[in-house]
Amino acid sequence: MTSHDERRAFWEGRLGTDWTETGVGYRALGRPFNEWMYRVRREVFLREAGALDLDRARARVLDIGSGTGFYVRAWRDLGVGSITGCDLTEAAVERLRPRFPDVRFERLDIADPGDALPEAAFDAASCMDVLFHITDDDRYTAALESVARAVRPGGYFVLSENFLHRPAERGANQVNRTISWITGRLARAGFDVLRRAPMLVLMNAQVDAGPVWRKVWGGALRAATLTEPTGWLAGAALHPLERRLVRARRESPSTEIMVCRRR
């Protein structure tokens, strides 16, 4: 299990040297493939966040783990009137502020934000591909409780996670937890799950598939993305299929998006 200081140092180093989709995405697959992957992520996010019952011009939104500002831009493109972003790292925050001068950014750890986030101040919060990097279960639970305090009753929480139906899988910088464990912690924090849908299907690690398929498809993706030109071609070839799959399937063996409401 990685300590808080080690986790922050890891991300400071990673984003300090690679503040792109690759730095926040699946690094082993290279930037061109990640850029195609993030096109699908954007489409799914805009569909799900755009369906929330919000007066977007007046809505106050919190984006957690803002990274390069990908989802900050998505909220802004949806017409949200007030956005606050936050990230664990100075490497991200010091770059985000000039990129989005109309957005307030805070450097904080969502598991222990102190008084940086006012209580019940936000109509919605997003936390995309962040929580599975919190390797300590107690800090993961604390993060959800912090989000719940920041979101008003009746507000929304949009997150992406690897909701496993198989046993949890633990690594130094990422823990893939079971769907029952995650939804249990969400319920304890005060959230009701409204819906869950595929964020990606084939363009990411097959974390919830059988061991043979995980190994075969993972190897195929890494082989196809060994160089930037082949990575671009692989992304371009998979992109139209992936767009159809995330709309047609109810579940995914990869990352999924979940929408919750604060009780």
Average pLDDT over residues 145-167: 98
Distance CA 230, CA 116 (A): 44
Provide the domain count of the chain.
1
Question: Which CATH number covers residue 115?
Answer: 3.40.50.150
- In order, the DSSP letters of 132-189 are GG---HHHHHHHHHHHHHHEEEEEEEEEEE--BSS--EE-SS-EE-BHHHHHHHHHHH
Structure tokens belonging to residue 66? 């803002």
Task: Give residue 263's pLDDT band: very low, low, confident or very high (50, 70, 90).
Answer: very high
User: Percent of the chain beyond pLDDT 70?
Assistant: 98
Q: Kindly report the average pLDDT of the chain as a whole number.
A: 94
Range of the domain at 50: 4-262
Ramachandran quadrant class, 71 (left: phi over 0; alpha: psi -120 to 50; beta: rest): alpha
Per-residue pLDDT band for 9 (boundaries 50, 70, 90) equals confident
d(C-alpha 75, C-alpha 90), whole Å: 22
- Which helix (H) or strand (E) element contains residue 261? strand 256-262
Whether residue 141 has pLDDT greater than 90: yes
**Rounded to a whole number, what is the distance in angstroms from the first to the last CA of the chain?**
32
Burial letters 212-232, b for 16+ CB under 10 A, else e? eeeeebbeebeebbeeeeebb
CB 163 within 8 A of CB 256: yes
Which pLDDT band holds residue 18 (cuts at 50, 70, 90)? confident
CA 132 to chain centre: 9
Token digits of residue 219: 């190897």
Q: In this structure, are residues 85 and 103 in contact, taking their beta carbons and an 8 Å threshold?
A: yes
Give the pLDDT confidence score for residue 3 in this predicted structure. Answer: 66
Q: What is the pLDDT of residue 11?
A: 75
pLDDT at 25: 73
Q: Are strands 60-64 and 122-128 parallel, antiparallel or unpaired?
A: parallel
Query: pLDDT tens digit string along 161-207?
Result: 999 999 999 998 899 999 999 999 999 999 999 999 999 999 999 99
**Alpha carbon distance 225, 205 (integer Å):** 13
CA 146 to chain CA centroid, nearest Å: 16
pTM of the model: 0.94
pLDDT of 246 > 60? The answer is yes
**pLDDT at residue 21, as a whole number:** 75
What are the φ and ψ backbone dihedral angles of 72, each rounded to 5 degrees?
-60, -45
Torsion-angle region of residue 46: left (phi > 0), alpha (psi -120 to 50) or beta? alpha
Q: Is the pLDDT of residue 158 over 80?
A: yes
Please, which pLDDT band fits residue 53 given cuts at 50, 70 and 90?
Answer: very high
